[in-house]
Amino acid sequence: MAAALALSERGRGRTAPNPNVGCLIVREGVVVGRGWTQPGGRPHAEAMALAEAGAAARGATVFVTLEPCAHVSPRGPACADLLAAAGPARVVAALTDPDPRTAGAGFARLRAAGIGVTIGIGADQAARTMAGFLQRRYQGRAEVTLKLATSLDGCIALASGESRWITGAEARAHAHLERTRAEAICIGGGTLRADAPRLDVRLPGLEARAPRRLLLARTPADLPAGWTWVESPRAAAALAGVDHLLVEGGAGAAAAFLAEDLVDRLLLYRAPLLIGAGRAALGGIGLAGLDAAHGRWRLLDARGLGVDRLELYERRR
């Protein structure tokens, strides 16, 4: 399942409104098929993996991060039917599909075809990997990631405004990679005026993966060509076709999303330097007191990126 989850990660940010599923087919200890939801949502992961496995799928074990779909669409057959025809011995799935057209019907169809079904393996990690899809289904909005890049004392710039660069090349490359995993990036008007960021992906081979650009501002005045105006964090998170939203600043936009409790993931890049009396990473987030601040964030990952450190926190809900 860990390998299926890794395949699932390949589609993150590119499959909306479909889930970014991963699928691995193993027969007698050998991987015979691998698949992940392709850009735009089709083919599905199971279809891709079954096509690779061919006749070797018969009697095999299929690991899949989400329940195979039970509904036929104009864009392709139901994966549960494909699996039933391919005849694996067992399907191991991480999560049940919340889509009411499947929601257990996919598993039922597999069992009816004599295929063993195991559900729940790797469920926590699958929920994180496919959080954009699940959040959209359950909450009607995108999964929101806030990126902050600060000094050790929490500054994003000197008092003079100088901010290039606080973090080093490795951290900035990682942040660009994170852009490829979102359908849209949002910044505030102040950052647009101050930095005029391109918000593109400057990584070899991934230049075409730049997401939609959203400007959070009171009015659409000064909206650059090709950008989308959003008047509130909630409106940004509700945009159709955006299951993963990356908020890149500045302090006002970041605080606006936090004040609405819309941030699900916090990507914190920290450089080993002190600025002192610089520009703070966050504006006011409407905190009534320290009690309200505790217990909201859980550290998921911490690693070095060159001389910088990256920490990933998730909102505890």
Provide the annotated active-site residues.
46
Query: Which one, 25 or 282, has the nearer CB to a copy of itself?
Result: 282
Using alpha carbons, list the distances in angstroms from residue 126 to 60, 106, 258. Answer: 22, 18, 25
Give me the least distance between CB of 48 and a copy of itself, in Å please. 39
- Nearest distance from residue 194's CB to a copy of itself, in Å? 15
SS (H, E, C) 230-298: ECCHHHHHHCCCCCEEEEEECHHHHHHHHHCCCCCEEEEEECCCCCCCCEECCCCCCCCCHHHHCCCEE
Contact flags string 128-157 toward a copy of itself, x per CB under 8 A: --------------------x-xxxxxx--
Tokens 């949502």 belong to which residue? 41
Under the binding rule (CB under 8 A), the answer on residue 166 touching a copy of itself is yes
Q: What separation, in Å, do the N-terminal and C-terminal C-alpha atoms of the chain show?
A: 25
User: What is the pairing mode between strands 279-280 and 228-230?
Assistant: unpaired
**Segment near a copy of itself (CB under 8 A), from 11-19, 39-47, 200-208, 293-301?**
293-301
294 forms part of the interface with a copy of itself (CB under 8 A)? yes
Please select the residue that binds a copy of itself; options are 123, 158, 223, 312, rule is CB under 8 A: 158
Specify the 3-state DSSP secondary structure of 34: strand
Question: Rounded to a whole number, what is the largest CA-CA distance in the chain?
Answer: 69
Task: Give the shortest CB-186-to-a copy of itself separation in angstroms.
Answer: 18
* Shortest Å, Cβ 195 to a copy of itself: 14
119 versus 173: smaller Cβ distance to a copy of itself: 173
Candidates 159, 169, 177, 240; binder of a copy of itself (CB under 8 A) is 159
What amino acid occupies position 185?
Answer: I
Kindly list the distances between the CA atom of residue 124 and the CA atoms of 94, 191, 270, in Å, as whole numbers in the listed order: 8, 35, 27
Q: Applying CB under 8 A, does 236 fall inside the site for a copy of itself?
A: no
Query: HSE-up of 79 (CA within 13 Å, CB side)?
Result: 30
Among 165, 169, 198, 241, binds a copy of itself (CB under 8 A): 165
From residue 261 to residue 290, the character string flagging contacts with a copy of itself as x (rule: CB under 8 A) and all else as - is -----x-x--xxxxxxxx-xxxxxxxx-xx
- Length of the chain (residues): 317
Question: Cβ 173 to a copy of itself, closest distance in Å?
Answer: 18
Structure tokens at 64: 């899949």
Q: Across the strands, what pairs with 295?
A: none
Interface residue list for a copy of itself (CB under 8 A): 148, 150-155, 158-160, 162-166, 255, 258-259, 266, 268, 271-278, 280-287, 289-290, 293-294, 296-299, 302, 304, 307, 309, 311, 313
